[in-house]
Amino acid sequence: MTWDDPRLARLRRLISAALTPPPGAGRITLALLAGVVCQGLFALAVLSMVVAMFFGMSKSFGAVPYPWAILANVVLILQFPLLHSFLLSKRGMGLLAKIVPGPHGGTLATTTYATIASIQLFALFTLWTPSGIVWWRAEGAAFYAICTAYAASWLLLLKASFDAGAEVQSGALGWMSLLGKIKVKFPDMPTQGLFRVIRQPIYVAFALTLWTVPVWTPDQLALAVSYTAYCLLAPRLKEKRFEARYGDEFRRYRDRTPYVLPGTKTGSRT
């Protein structure tokens, strides 16, 4: 049997075909890898939030000595809203499309955004340095009542996220679009479910999780006050983007739906 034997040539072709990845294999691998990383970090971030706030931010892994711990904790509080808001700007969105090199960075932008946000939240709730001061800890019937309210707040946040489009909120939109080889298509402007009652149910639900905890410390109060302010102010920027994107459709929705409190006067300033 010589090197030019047809049987050897056929064998070489079979081996070559077996070692050559099918068309789109790189895209599929990238999509699945991005999905595993994004959804894994998203789950860790949510878990760290639920646990850390349940204990009033009194249990975490931060160990910065005081008084430097105060500065470190302030940085941890500020880093999320500042970077989170910047990445939603025109310049930030352009940067997001470039973080993943290659032709798929734009498609994965929403996944990249959610991945970064998850890392930020995970850092906040795991690297916080507790003050060691506990003002109040619920006991007896009060403990069960507050735990019920805490769980209800998280369920409300989950419901609001689904109403807004779970694939967008969790970062799945990007990697699922890449996996399916389809153009990224954002869901329609949310107006159903909790969005029929108020315009910003996600922010309101998150604010409720901050205040329905069974343990109160200076740490939890600092977090609750600062992030409640963020939940009241940040949606203004979001609504400007919505107005630019949806125009009259959003303005009509805004005119008939209260901002954060059901039953209050509607309009752009409420």
Does residue 150 belong to any structural domain of this protein?
yes
Considering the domain boundaries, does residue 267 fall inside one?
no
pLDDT tens per residue, range 20-64: 445 556 889 999 999 999 999 999 999 999 999 999 999 999 999
Q: Is residue 119 part of a domain?
A: yes
Give CA separation, 24 vs 21, 106, 108, in Å.
8, 17, 16
In a domain, 15, yes or no: no
Ordered per-residue pLDDT tens for the chain, 270 residues: 454 556 555 555 545 544 444 555 688 999 999 999 999 999 999 999 999 999 999 999 999 999 999 999 999 999 999 999 899 888 998 999 999 888 999 999 999 999 999 999 999 999 999 999 999 999 999 999 999 999 999 999 999 999 998 888 899 999 999 998 888 888 889 999 999 999 999 999 999 999 999 999 999 999 999 999 999 998 998 899 889 889 999 999 999 999 999 987 655 454
**69 belongs to a structural domain:** yes
pLDDT in tens, 129-142: 999 999 999 999 99
Q: Which two tokens stand for residue 118?
A: 């998850």
For residue 123, give its domain range. Answer: 22-256
DSSP, residue by residue, the chain = --TT-HHHHHHHHHHHHHHSPPTTHHHHHHHHHHHHHHHHHHHHHHHHHHHHHHTTT-S-S--PPTTHHHHHHHHHHHHHHHHHHHTTSHHHHHHHHHHS-STTTTTTHHHHHHHHHHHHHHHHHHH--------EE--HHHHHHHHHHHHHHHHHHHHHHHHHHHHHHTTHHHHHHHHHT----PPPPP-SGGGGT-S-HHHHHHHHHHH--SEE-HHHHHHHHHHHHHHHHHHHHHHHHHHHHHTHHHHHHHHHS-SSSTTS--STT-
**Pair 195, 262: CB distance under 8 Å:** no
- 115 domain residue, yes or no: yes
DSSP of 107-174? TTHHHHHHHHHHHHHHHHHHH--------EE--HHHHHHHHHHHHHHHHHHHHHHHHHHHHHHTTHHH
Looking at the 3D structure of the chain, how many domains does it have?
A: 1
- Residue 111 in domain: yes
Q: Is residue 10 part of a domain?
A: no
